[in-house]
Amino acid sequence: MTGEQTPSGEKVHVVFKTDLDIGFTDLAANVVDEYLTTFILKALPLSERMQGEDGQSKFIWTVGSWLPFRKCLFEGLATAQN
């Protein structure tokens, strides 16, 4: 029931997640870059938008590896945006 009302009136979002296998589907640098420039940078505004819709929604996001976050912490999101 992705995004549909349940009998109790709650809205349910179903999310699919796989593990992060850096270097399996593409070069490791490309996979990390995609996490930084696509996934993380799109997740931040989405979390703000969801919070703003009803003031109660929560955005919970998990990532299968410490590497993209380590890169963000040490290099900063500003670097990833360039």
Q: What is the mean pLDDT of each run of 10 residues along the chain (82 residues)?
A: 62 69 82 80 81 70 66 62 54
Q: Give the integer Cα–Cα distance in Å for 41 and 5.
A: 29
8 A C-beta contact, residue 41 and residue 77: yes
* Residue 14: DSSP 8-state: -
pTM beyond 0.75: no
Q: Which of 35, 44, 24 is nearest to 66 (CA)?
A: 35
- At 76 the pLDDT is 64
Torsion of CA 69, 75, 80, 81, to 10 degrees: 120
* Residue 7: DSSP 8-state: T
